[in-house]
Amino acid sequence: MHELDSTTQKNISTWLNGNYDQQTKDEIQALLNQNALTELTDAFYRDLEFGTGGLRGIMGVGSNRINRYTIGMATQGLSNYLKKVYGDKEIRVVIAHDCRNNATTFAQITADVFSANGIKVFMFEHLRPTPQLSYAIRELGCHSGVMLTASHNPKEYSGYKAYWNDGGQLIAPHDKNVVQEVLAIKSVDEVRFQGNPVLIEKLGHDMDERYINRLTRESISPGAISRQSDMKIVFSPIHGTGYPLVPKVLRRFGFQNVMLVDEQIKFDGNFPTVLYPNPEEQEALTLALEKARETGADLVMATDPDADRVGIAIRDNLGELILLNGNQTGSLLFNYVLTARESAGTLTEKHYVVKTIVTSQLMDAIAAAKGVPCYNVLTGFKFIGDLMTRLEREKTFLVGGEESYGYLVGDHARDKDAIVAAAMIAEMAAYYKDQGQSLFEALITLYLEHGYYKERLISLTKKGKSGAEEIRAMMQSYRENTPTELGGAAVTTLKDYAGQVSTDMQSGSKTPIDLPKSDVLQFVTADGSVISARPSGTEPKIKFYCSVRGDLSDASQFEQVSAELDAKIDRIMHDLGVG
């Protein structure tokens, strides 16, 4: 093992000699016998840490993998932290899981460890969406919660999202404190795996009804739905938790013509009908699009496995189905909620909306035109949830969104919610159809009013330890050798969220950024382009978010301006050495 670093060797030795099951030890020994140094390093070079989405990784043996021991240690660490925070008070948590392979097992292990530590557990009897977990924490007055999911990652992944008492994912200082509690566990023997069934209570149909009833309160235009109740909608849960809640909520809203993609309503952690269960990818919507073409549907929607993200397809002016990206859907949704409430007379000075710093500035422009504050927070919906909690006694949250297809309408949860988003998107389509306008035409109208904002996300995958080092080197290079020009326009501002400082590139003057530290760089150019570089907190990737803007004076110019903006993004990415 001389080619493995000392930390990796130490972790392997701990697992081979510790109180781990024999099958686990046999798998490790087999890798050693094969001299599988890269696989061993990736599995043992570190302990999994909480990122923007919690604990997430590939399932398998090792300290850097998702398995019964890393799940157990995470839960023991969280239990220890909850006891430190709440002392002798009765501590209550909620647990849910999606359709992932081993998710039921991991959920039971989580429940057992919590209950073994004397913590009251509410556990959903069957798989449920992430947003319903967030809702249940708030509804039941719990102190924490755990969602077993890897969201839209490939089938070999699993994950563990930890939540706090407001229903939001862990943020500072709780996230780091829980990590410290986990790291303080020196032996798997410290994990209390033997559960106490008396402390575990199952949640079922009643909590579904409470959740659904709460979501229906967000409807703004019931009259439009009533008149357009036969609007054809195709929905796919992509084998996940969106079924049956999305169809049920759509019916409660008043939609009577919802068609399901039969091949994808079966819960299956292998996701046999798609390459990746990610509604951001066109391939994942292939079957839904086929059904929409066969049936003449107006709207296509698909949710990811834990139903916190939704992707949609609409018809363009030629009647062809096109996919919208997360920025376009979010912009339409922001505009609809504000416009419909304005028309209904229910928009007040206390209302506000929220987006992330890498999400389209079109949303800021829409909110400004309506006189509604639009707050920008760090990437990760947990920061939207945190702001909601901090403002809940002063202001009223309406809608939040991020470019990665996550939206929330209403304050019932503190995480993105594809269940309510799907219902509100359908309502939005009915609202515009009732006025003789398609969603595509509504989008073009936004561009005519505010400018054509076009975004593109470029992700570079860098796997394993070497990949993580390469990503760090890229970010360091951008900081030390900041480009002076991107896409033919001068870089006027550099925002370094890790240093919490914004630098004027001409004068050198610096102003503080009033957000938590985050490894994000933003380049702002003289013509208004914004390019963000950000290592992912949940995947082995570095992501580049490129946003450009052009003027659209007539709908007939849409294709031409779109092509010009695409070319501009290409030039910017080339200047950054990407793509």
Query: What are the residue boundaries of the structural domains of the chain, listed by start?
Result: 46-203, 211-450, 452-575
Q: Report the run of H or E that residue 477 belongs to, with start and end.
A: helix 464-480
Please name the fold of domain 452-575.
TATA-Binding Protein (3.30.310)
- CATH fold match for the domains 46-203 and 452-575: no
Those residues with Cβ within 8 angstroms of residue 507's Cβ, 6 or more apart along the chain or in another chain:
none
To the nearest whole number, what is the mean pLDDT of the chain?
95
- In whole angstroms, give the CA distance from residue 396 to residue 410: 9
In the residue annotation, 158 being an active-site residue is answered as no
- One-letter identity of residue 44: F
CA distances from 315 to 334, 535, 548 (A): 20, 34, 24
Q: In this structure, which amino acid lies at residue 330? A: G
Sign of CA dihedral 122, 125, 126, 132: negative
In CATH, 46-203 is 3.40.120.10: yes
Res 465: pLDDT:
80
- Three-state SS string across 398-421, please? EEEEECCCEEEECCCCCCCCHHHH
Kindly give the pairing relationship between strand 452-461 and strand 485-486: unpaired
Tokens encoding 442:
């509504």
What does the pLDDT look like over 137-177, one tens digit per residue? 999 999 999 999 999 889 999 999 999 999 999 988 898 88
213 contacts: CB under 8 Å, gap ≥ 6: none
pLDDT tens-place string over residues 299-337 = 999 999 999 999 999 999 999 999 999 999 999 999 999
Q: pLDDT tens digits for 427-474? A: 999 999 999 999 999 999 999 999 999 999 999 998 888 888 999 999
Contact indicator for 63, 44 with CB cutoff of 8 Å: yes
Distance CA 178, CA 193 (A): 18
The residue from 134, 144, 151, 518 that is catalytic is 151
Q: Global pTM? A: 0.94
What fold is seen in the domain 211-450?
Answer: Alpha-D-Glucose-1,6-Bisphosphate; Chain A, domain 3 (3.40.120)
530-579: pLDDT as tens digits: 999 999 866 789 999 999 999 999 999 999 999 999 999 999 999 999 96
The string of pLDDT tens digits covering residues 481-516 is: 999 999 999 999 999 999 999 999 999 999 999 999
pLDDT at residue 1, as a whole number: 44
Length of the chain: 579
CA 191 to chain centre: 30
Q: Which of 543, 542, 550, 553 is nearest to 568 (CA)?
A: 550
The string of pLDDT tens digits covering residues 203-256 is 999 999 999 999 999 999 999 999 999 999 999 999 999 998 999 999 999 999
CA distance linking residue 16 with residue 11, whole number of Å: 9
Q: How many CA atoms lie within 13 A of 281 on its CB side?
A: 13
- Among the residue ranges 78-92, 180-194, 429-443, the one predicted with the least confidence is 180-194
Nearest to 31 by CA among 20, 22, 39: 39
Which of 534, 544, 549, 551 lies closest to 575 in space, CA to CA? 544
CA distances from 543 to 29, 379, 404, 474, 579 (A): 36, 11, 12, 11, 12
Name the residue with tokens 């890498």.
358
- pLDDT-based confidence at 49, cuts 50/70/90? confident
Q: Which residues pair with 322 in a beta bridge?
A: 314
271, 303 in Cβ contact below 8 A? no
Half-sphere exposure of 68 (CA within 13 A, CB side): 17
Residue range 4-22: average pLDDT? Answer: 94
What is the DSSP code (8-state) at residue 169? B
Residue 462's pLDDT is 87
- pLDDT at position 50 is 64
- For the chain, how are helix, strand and coil distributed in percent, rounded to 5? 40, 20, 35
CA dist 334 to 368, 424, 553, Å? 11, 11, 22
State the average pLDDT over residues 284-313.
98
**Residue 100 in this model has a pLDDT that exceeds 70:** yes
Nearest to 504 by CA among 526, 536, 527: 526
- Could you give the angle at the alpha carbon of 86 between the alpha carbons of 85 and 91, nearest 5°? 125
In Å, the largest CA–CA distance within the chain is: 72
